[in-house]
Structure 1
Amino acid sequence: MAGKSNNHSRMARSPSHRPGQRRAKLDPFDRAILRVIQRDNKTPQRAIAEAVNLSAAAVQRRIAAMEAAGIITANTAVVDTAALGLAITAIVEVHLVDERAATVDAAKALFRADADVQQCYYVTGGISFVLVILSSDMVAYEETTRRLFAHNPAVATFRSLIALDRVKSGNNVPIA
């Protein structure tokens, strides 16, 4: 690749890459592109190029490089939960019986694999995990809590907070 500009090299994934770990220094053009595609990832590249003062080809190369580096982790659709009949959003605090690696890893695997768990965070501060769970109704939610928590010997306690209103949600990350 001598003589060619290689955007991938400045954003190469480090060998010890972990999700959420910073992998590359983003320049102002990268940040501007990210702002646009976080609002709507279906924005045509020519429109992004106009908005950030680059060529469409440069935008395409930069997006591909950010995807390869793991900076852009997915292109997804945000779905209206009510349209799918998912009326219950629960935020759940989970306390494990202990914080041994095997216990935590098993809980992570269980929560990651469960379709009702929309988000899962392993946290500090006296709680082991915070989860966001979607259910169609309270009967379905109770089934989920029994499956994940009540019948799970690794769970000491759990506490449910039922959302009354979704004031703000989404995946937009603040980009300086």
Structure 2
Amino acid sequence: MKELDRLDRKILRTLQKEGRLTNIELADRVSLSPTATAERVRRLTRDGFIIGYMAILSPEKLGRNLLVFIEVKLDRTTPDVFDAFASAVKRSDDVMECHMVAGGFDYLVKARVAGMEAYRQFLSEVILPLPGVRETHTYAVMEEVKTGSALPV
């Protein structure tokens, strides 16, 4: 795999901010020819630096106003329980992210729901019945200070 140079990094930074740029617009922004830009983007994609593109949607417009983080402790930490939990959580559309973590609990779940009533239903119908769940702690977000997925390049 080739090392990233200054132009590769500029392309990645630009695409993280505006993934819908045409190749010509991107080439203009990074001061390269469209052909050279397209080849670099193909290489960056082939080498796994670019793994996809997506639209960022408005949670408010879609009625998903409440963002919650849920700490989940499992009753036992065995491979079969981890696998069953991971498989089950992947089926929930309300779960945006789920991470196995080291520390005082096993998983950190990020979910978006309509409001507190919807959260209570989500907790009782989705999270608590998940395989191996022993205990949860929930943190409701009062204000989103900084959000995003851009990586430093």
**Pair in the same fold by TM > 0.5:** yes
Out of 78-87 and 54-63, give the one that drifted further.
54-63
Runs (4+) off by over 3 Å: none
Structure 2 distance, partners of 1:76, 1:173, is: 15
**Bigger mean CA deviation after superposition, 87-96 or 140-149:** 140-149
Q: Which residue of 1 aligns with 2:133?
A: 155
How far residue 153 of structure 1 moved from its aligned partner, in angstroms, is 4.7
2:128 pairs with 1:143? no
Which of the numbers 26, 38, 41 marks the counterpart of 2:16? Answer: 38
Kindly state the Cα deviation for residue 52 of structure 1 after the two structures are TM-superposed: 2.1
Which consecutive residues of structure 1, in runs of 5 or more, have no partner in the other structure?
1-9, 11-23
Structural RMSD (CA)? 1.6
TM-score of the superposed pair, with normalisation by structure 1:
0.80
1:124 corresponding residue in structure 2: 102
Provide the C-alpha distance between the structure 2 equivalents of 1:100 and 1:30, rounded to a whole number of angstroms.
42
Provide the C-alpha distance between the structure 2 equivalents of 1:153 and 1:49, rounded to a whole number of angstroms: 50
Q: How many residues are paired up? A: 153
Give 2:62's aligned amino acid: L
Instruction: Label 1:66 to 1:113 Cα distance change in 2 as closer, same or farther (>3 A).
Output: farther
Counterpart-to-counterpart distance in 2, 1:69 and 1:113: 29
CA drift at 1:135: 0.5
Task: Name structure 2 gaps, 5 residues minimum.
Answer: none
Q: Is the 8 A contact 2:88 2:130 kept in 1?
A: no
Higher RCO (C-alpha 8 Å, min separation 6): 2
Of 40, 58, 62 in structure 2, the residue corresponding to residue 62 of structure 1 is: 40
Q: Please give the alpha-carbon distance, in whole angstroms, between the structure 1 residues aligned to 2:124 and 2:48.
A: 35
1:47 corresponds to 2:11? no
Q: Distance in 1 between matches of 2:38 and 2:78?
A: 44
Deviations 1:119-161 (A, max 9, x none): 1111111211111100012222112111233223501111110
The 1-side partners of 2:98 and 2:4 are apart by 27
Shift, 1:33, TM fit:
0.4
Distance 2:76 2:46 in 1: 37
Aligned partner of 2:23: which letter? Q
| Percent of aligned pairs with the same amino acid | 25
| Match in the other structure for 1:165 | 143
